[in-house]
Amino acid sequence: MSYRSVKLIKRPTLEITEDVFNIVTQDIPTPKEGEVLVKLSHLSLDPAMRGWMSPDENSYIPPVKLGDTMRASGIGEVVESNNEKFPVGSRVMGLMGLTEYAISDGNGLNMIPKELPAEAILSVIALPGITAYHGVFEVLKPEAGQTLIVTAAAGSVGSLVGQMAKNLGLTVVGVAGSDDKCQWLTKELGFDHAINYKDADFVEQLTNATRNGIDLFFENTGGAAQGPIFDRMNPHGRIAVCGLIADYQKEEASPGPSWIGIIKRRLSIQGFTMPDHFHRIPEYGQALGAMLGKGELQYRTHVIEGIESATSGINLLFEGKNTGKLIVKL
């Protein structure tokens, strides 16, 4: 019996072209002592994968080596086991790569409940949820009555950030790249305002939506919206720098706002990456599961099918064409 996996064979120059990947077919391996064989059912496509393809050794996680299976997280079932912690039939999640089958020694593998749909786990309990949760509760530390703005607001992380802040009694403004996405935020998720950053009068709309200024800024994109948002920050405001997707495929990063403004408005700006906080997954997972159970968090998914769809499908994230958590169903 054979299976397919996606190997990274070339580093992208700027955009992710399909020739950076090679889909190989191999015989399904047999797990050794201490190992398990996992049959993957769902893979997660995330903007961070663009960074993992770059040769930068000075990041929070080493680059994927050329010739290796492309790193990605996924959900699957243990189908053969030589590891008593993960018996046959266990449902597991971990960074197993863009592959139909994976061998694991159990390191970094988490057991997940069988009753929750895979889509709910990948959209809420996995990376998007723990990122939103950490950024909101540990970095921004919101208080009722404050105004929070979030970019890539209709995306996996951003949509959860806004809903968490609404549930805490904040005024929430979302910034997204289409009118449909903005409508989903205000009509379905209860955001107070949603602004399309591509509109010519973006700055005017932003001013109108943030009459009392902005206390908390959850930054997912960078790009042209960043400067005008920064200019509306209130004294002692806080900025959580989670992602800068507008820069991931650029030769040079965009210039940020002047540091003078940080002093004048006594701002706190903190970057964070989740691998530093993976030890808190059980705690965050429990909190997110409870929110989901109480109906406090809605999510939507954008599902593409088959391992071969991953190699071009990842670009949906950078084109703004994903409408929800981008998932590959195997």
Q: Which residues bind ligand NAP (CB under 6 A)?
A: 46-48, 127-128, 131, 152, 154-158, 176-178, 181, 220-221, 223, 242-243, 245-246, 272-274, 317-318, 320, 322
Q: Which of 230, 215, 221, 163 is nearest to 192 (CA)?
A: 163
Query: Which of residues 32 and 56 has its CB atom nearest to ligand NAP in the complex?
Result: 56
Minimal distance in Å, beta carbon 158 to ligand NAP? 6
Minimal distance in Å, beta carbon 315 to ligand NAP? 10
Query: Which of residues 196 and 234 has its CB atom nearest to ligand NAP in the complex?
Result: 196
| 324, 122 Cβ separation under 8 angstroms | no
Query: Which of residues 186 and 273 has its CB atom nearest to ligand NAP in the complex?
Result: 273
Query: Which of residues 176 and 288 has its CB atom nearest to ligand NAP in the complex?
Result: 176
Minimal distance in Å, beta carbon 115 to ligand NAP? 25
Residue, CB closest to ligand NAP: 155
Question: How far, in Å, CA of 288 to CA of 67, rounded?
Answer: 36
Minimal distance in Å, beta carbon 39 to ligand NAP? 25
Distances (CA, A) of 70 to 4, 8, 176, 324: 12, 6, 29, 22
Q: Where are the alpha helices (DSSP H) in the chain?
A: 48-53, 118-120, 127-133, 156-167, 179-183, 202-209, 226-230, 259-264, 281-293, 310-313, 315-319
149 half-sphere exposure, CB direction, 13 A CA radius: 32
Query: Which of residues 94 and 223 has its CB atom nearest to ligand NAP in the complex?
Result: 223
Query: Which of residues 20 and 175 has its CB atom nearest to ligand NAP in the complex?
Result: 175
Minimal distance in Å, beta carbon 265 to ligand NAP? 24
Minimal distance in Å, beta carbon 312 to ligand NAP? 15
Question: How far, in Å, CA of 267 to CA of 262, rounded?
Answer: 5
